[in-house]
Chain A
Amino acid sequence: MIPTEDLIDQLAESVTPVRRLRSPLLRASLWLLGVLCVAGAVILAAGAVHRIAERSLTPGFDTEWAATVLTGVCAVLAAFQLSLPDRSRHWLWLPLPTLLVWVGASGFGCYRSWLLVGADQSLQLGESAHCFLFILAVSVPLAIALTVPLRRSRPLEPMPVLWCAGLGVAALSAAILQFFHPFNITVMDLAAHLAAIALVVLLVGGLGRQVVRPPAGLAGDRG
């Protein structure tokens, strides 16, 4: 171990100008705007805009979709806030209320669909595998695009940041899925959505740790 005064001299000699991070609100907004542009272009190109209008005729759909989008937005904002050292850890709870509304509204949709089409059809696998793969496939590029700015924050505790990031990209993928999901949600669909979201959160948490690392220190050098 070198004397602390020598370390200070070394650090002061090696100091270079750095680009300050912009506010987490602005960074999150810019990132979300980017996602909106790309997703909007894809949805327009696929001619899928009218699907949301059709789906919104279903009771409870508007609430469910708004809660999905808001969960994504809140989780992404929370990830940017949590990535900085001096922001409250309570940001972790920001996406929770909308997440609960989203799951509750999806459950209500399932129950309604169960009553309409009966248990046999509700429990068929059908398009559920498609939903599962869609959420995973859309989440991967979004997660990569989100870990790049989060990595720049060098969070001291990456896990809460990555959990929020995983939830954010999974929720945004689920919101985009609704444009390509022209039928009411069944029990199996809901299960597939939840499984895909859980998998995305776990994957982003697990793989993201390799990318979004806390700053290396002396910890572990000496027992």
Chain B
Amino acid sequence: MDSSASEPADSAAAAVVQVGLRWGILMMQAQSGDAPSYRRLLLEVTPYLRAIARRYHRDMRDVEDSVQDVLLTLHTVRHTYDPGRPFKPWLVTIARRRIADRLRTQWRTCARESQINESLYETFADERANPSEEPPEERVLRAAIEQLPSAQRQAVTLLKMEEMSLQEAAQASGQSVSSLKVATHRAIKSLRRMLSADRNEP
């Protein structure tokens, strides 16, 4: 075995463990009301939380909102941290659940709100009477996705448009991996049918 190759990996793993240990100790001191330790802990975990949030959000405002959400939650549930257990899994679970909550809220808001249709500004109600601009392929696809049932729409948006992994999409949507797979399969079938029907229209 090549020991020189495993050394950097070992030292990196040791550094990760050390960081986790330090955060655990800082949290323990924060539980006793030590404000400087708590401040240091929050400052140190913020970039880590930002990196997690960036995996789920594109908009930087959403990333920052999620980070603040996690910090507030961490503050509220700080009494649930057990110093006998590793700190990072505790923090990561809080972060993932709060980010998933935010994504779910955003989905619900999107479902209730409807975008103002551009055709309202057109002179004639019939689209074919306003042949100013042929909609690009992507717009047709997005419009077709909008017509899908919500579970299918969510699955195809997270997995195909946002390019999330199955695990990330499952975390974000609260659906299981297998139901996401089924929903995506159905969504693609429906989209194929809808788009081919559009093309065949006179």
Contacts and interface: CB of A to CB of B under 8 A. Distances in A.
A8 B64 contact: no
Nearest to B74: A11
B11 interface: no
A223 B68 CA distance: 16
Interface in A1-25: 1, 4-5, 7-9, 11-21, 23
Instruction: Provide the main secondary structure of the chain B interface.
Output: helix
A90 interface: no
Contacts, number: 110
Given A8-B39, A11-B42, A17 B32 contact: yes
Quick one: which of A5, A14, A156 has the most chain B CB within 10 A? A156
B38 A217 contact: no
Interface in B100-123: 101-102, 105-106, 109, 113
A221 interface: yes
A4 B33 contact: no
A23 B101 CA distance: 27
B65 interface: yes
A13 B38 CA distance: 9
Given A85-B90, A86-B85, A223 B106 contact: yes
B77 A12 contact: no
Contacts of B42: 8, 11-12
Interface in B22-51: 30-36, 38-39, 42-43, 46
Contacts of A157: 97
A215 interface: yes
B113 A86 contact: no
A148 B40 CA distance: 33
Interface in B74-105: 75-83, 85, 89-90, 93-94, 97-98, 101-102, 105
B69 A217 contact: yes
A86 B90 contact: yes
A86 B89 contact: yes
Interface residues of B, number: 43
Contacts of B35: 12-13, 15
Size band of the interface chain A makes with B: 35 or more
B31 A18 contact: yes
Nearest to A23: B82
A93 to B, nearest CB: 14
B142 to A, nearest CB: 19
B72 interface: yes
A131 interface: no
Interface string B138-152: 000000000000000
B43 A8 contact: yes
A215 B39 contact: no
B67 interface: yes
A217 B33 contact: no
B191 to A, nearest CB: 26
A85 B69 contact: no
A218 B97 contact: no
A20 B30 CA distance: 11
Given A85-B97, A86-B90, A221 B79 contact: no
A156 B80 CA distance: 11
Interface string A186-223: 00000000000000000000000000001111111111
B71 interface: yes
Contacts of B65: 1, 218, 221-222
Interface of B: 30-36, 38-39, 42-43, 46, 61, 64-65, 67-69, 71-73, 75-83, 85, 89-90, 93-94, 97-98, 101-102, 105-106, 109, 113
Interface of A: 1, 4-5, 7-9, 11-21, 23, 84-86, 153-154, 156-157, 214-223
